[in-house]
Chain A
Amino acid sequence: MASKTTNLVAVWDPNRAAEIINAHLGLEGPALPILHGLQAAFGCVPSEAIPMVAKALNRSRAEIHGVVTFYHDFRDAPAGKTVVKLCRAEACQAVGGREAATFLLASLGIGWGETTPDGAVTVEAVYCLGLCAAAPAALVNGEPYGRLDGMSLVEAVAEETQP
């Protein structure tokens, strides 16, 4: 599973970034694959990478900045060690999703999209994981969890944050 390695991110390295960009240049419409590749390597799309992407694609920096900021997935700084993608959509709401989310956020002392001060956990809102028949649902470091309530959600996060 890709999960446990998701957040092993590298420090900024322009050579590595150039490699990632060049590896995708043969694709039709390479921008999103490049940005995904950069985020997979560095945990975010580093601001230093934006002029490099722009130059490689013959587009303006503003345009690439616009693309990066349009999509909810792309971050400008790495997330916490454990990322909780917690569904806020209707199917999860119908079976206590709001209550489970409130319980988790209160137990961590953070709000949506925030990271705990020790950098351990980030909670991101997502709108549907396709686990609507086993709701409420979350991906914790990429591992799926279903039929959650507040307590089992906190336990799932605790399990995934084990070293």
Chain B
Amino acid sequence: MIRLFVPKDVSALAVGADRVVKALYEQVGEGVQIVRTGSRGMTWLEPLVEVETPQGRIAYGPVAPTDVPGLLAAGLLSGADHPLRIGRPEDHPFMVRQTRLTFARCGIVDPLSLDDYRAHGGLEGLTKALAMGPEAVVAEVTASGLRGRGGAGFPTGIKWKTVADAEADRKYIVCNADEGDSGTFADRMVLEGDPFCLIEGMVIAGLAVGATKGFVYSRSEYPHANVTFAEALILAREAGLIGPDVLGSGRSFELELRVGAGAYVCGEETALLESLEGKRGMVRAKPPVPAHVGLFGKPTVINNLVSLASVPVILAKGAKAYADYGLGRSRGTMPIQIAGNAKYTGLFEAAFGITLGEIIETVAGGTLSGRPVKAVQCGGPLGAYFPPSLFDTPYDYEAFTARDGLIGHGGIVVFDDSVQMGAQARFAMEFCAIESCGKCTPCRIGSTRGVEVIDKIMAGTEPAANMAVLEDLCQTMKYGSLCALGGFTPYPVMSAVRHFPEDFNGSGINAKVPAE
């Protein structure tokens, strides 16, 4: 039996993977099996077709349905040469530079095969966790240096310890998979490409802190991911990985998938909890923190999906092996997501410490358009725009903070020199106005005033005076908002003003983007 592998990841489907599979089925004949996988993360090469050979899996990409006859004639099924042949994926320069820990299985395994999962190291972490006992698991996660991969960077082990120490009749594990930042898709890739890894991480968290129920809060914008993850939950329950007796341990852990309804602010942890409770996604004031008073008032671990999906490998390989990667207080690896106008787009998991310049120039290969890079936005719509003069910044929580930026959830959006930064600053304010939950005044009112004042600057109306108003407004939003939506919107705005003042010169070019 010859085995072919074609991703079912939605980024591959979006560029025709299903049509390629259809063409293959029609033309390969008997004795060929097509396995649908997640994505390797080399998105610019999608749809990627791999064939199993004695030399390992050989990849071809990007494959169009019309390429299929030529590929088969050239000897695709034996891994033969062809202009689209890229060789073994793990030997590709994009992959060789990576350290795949959290995403070790993504793109390789059948996401809905527990046998495949086990054969590639799955459940080793949980098996160890069950043998170690809860306190040792919390200590191990703390020692690994793992910090919140959603952007806040709070030490995961300390959060777990707080919940473990809390007295309550019921505790929860909540996975924040409300991945709304533009330029990010790591959560989605796990849900589609390695869902058991998330389930395993959440079960470990539940056992460690004494929680018996978990929720994954995903997005309505991710229909394909939600279908795959819901199927994985059924399989996990059948296999006893979740349920009343986790892997025969006598411990119980139930897990449920919930889907949001198109509100960006629900990615903020307290708004997410409100939403899970069936309310408007309004941000809660802290304290109390969710670790003390969380979902339905109970102590709750709420972690980003990537944080939870990193736990199995930390337990399997040991805290030290994980902490040996990284720089300063940023330990381990980060799935960096390269998006927008880049030549090589996709997911690049690397140890902290690689410079932004290496990522943009070497890994991403510059722009797709071939024009010079003008700016990169790091960390989603609330992240700063960095000019090439800051490309020496190491990828590290503290280094980005020191330069008035943030790594956020690991997204990097590349823009070429055709971008007008005044329009981007305006969009940041407009987005904040659309998505504000409305609870605090600086965010609710400030964002709309921000759009207006940027319009005045761009139209050349008292530009100096209005720039002073904008700066003052950004200060108010930054220090007066209840959460990161209003508090961080000044980052893209002020970084655009600081690094690209020439784009705010009042000439009014392209300042108006179509209004809602």
Instruction: Say if A and B assemble together.
Output: yes
Q: Which A residues lie at the B interface, using CB under 8 A? A: 2, 27-33, 35-36, 57, 66-67, 70-74, 85, 87, 89-95, 98, 101-102, 105, 111-113, 125-135, 137, 139, 142-147
Question: When the two chains form their complex, are residues A128 and B261 in contact, meaning their CB atoms are under 8 A apart?
Answer: no
Residue with the greatest number of chain B CB neighbours at <10 A, chosen from A27, A91, A129, A134: A91
Residue B411 CB within 8 A of the other chain: yes
Contacts of B347 in A (CB 8 A): 133
Could you tell me which residues of chain B, from 329 to 382, have a CB within 8 Å of some CB in chain A? 337-341, 345-347, 368-369, 377, 381
Question: When the two chains form their complex, are residues A67 and B280 in contact, meaning their CB atoms are under 8 A apart?
Answer: yes
Name the segment of B124-132, B203-211, B215-223 touching the other chain.
B215-223
Q: A73-B261, A91-B340 are in contact. Are A144 and B279 (CB under 8 A)?
A: no
Contacts of B278 in A (CB 8 A): 29-32, 57, 67
Once bound together, how far apart are the Cα atoms of A89 and B183, in whole Å? 9
Name the segment of B137-145, B152-160, B174-182, B286-294 touching the other chain.
B174-182
Q: Name the one of A28, A74, A102, A132 contacting B183, with C-beta atoms under 8 angstroms.
A: A132
3 closest pairs, A vs B, by CB?
A31-B278, A94-B340, A146-B14
B51 to chain A, nearest CB (A): 23
Once bound together, how far apart are the Cα atoms of A101 and B338, in whole Å? 22
- Among residues of B, the one whose C-beta sits closest to the C-beta of A59 is B278
Contacts of B424 in A (CB 8 A): 90, 93
Contacts of A137 in B (CB 8 A): 14
Q: A32-B275, A73-B220, A90-B413 are in contact. Are A135 and B516 (CB under 8 A)?
A: no
Residue B270 CB within 8 A of the other chain: no
Contacts of A29 in B (CB 8 A): 258, 276-278, 296
Question: When the two chains form their complex, are residues A144 and B262 in contact, meaning their CB atoms are under 8 A apart?
Answer: no
Q: A67-B279, A94-B413, A144-B224 are in contact. Are A130 and B264 (CB under 8 A)?
A: no
- Among residues of B, the one whose C-beta sits closest to the C-beta of A145 is B14
Q: Name the one of B14, B256, B261, B431 contacting A35, with C-beta atoms under 8 angstroms.
A: B261
Please name 28 pairs of A and B residues whose Cβ atoms are closer than 8 Å in the assembled complex, sorted by A: A29-B258, A30-B278, A32-B259, A71-B260, A74-B261, A89-B182, A90-B377, A90-B413, A91-B182, A93-B340, A93-B427, A105-B514, A127-B180, A127-B381, A127-B431, A129-B222, A130-B179, A131-B10, A132-B182, A132-B183, A132-B184, A132-B185, A133-B43, A133-B339, A133-B347, A144-B11, A145-B14, A147-B14
Contacts of A105 in B (CB 8 A): 514
Residue B281 CB within 8 A of the other chain: yes
- Among residues of B, the one whose C-beta sits closest to the C-beta of A144 is B14
List 13 additional contacts besides A132-B340, A145-B14; criterion CB under 8 Å: A35-B261, A36-B220, A71-B261, A91-B339, A95-B369, A112-B516, A127-B264, A127-B431, A134-B46, A134-B345, A137-B14, A142-B223, A146-B14
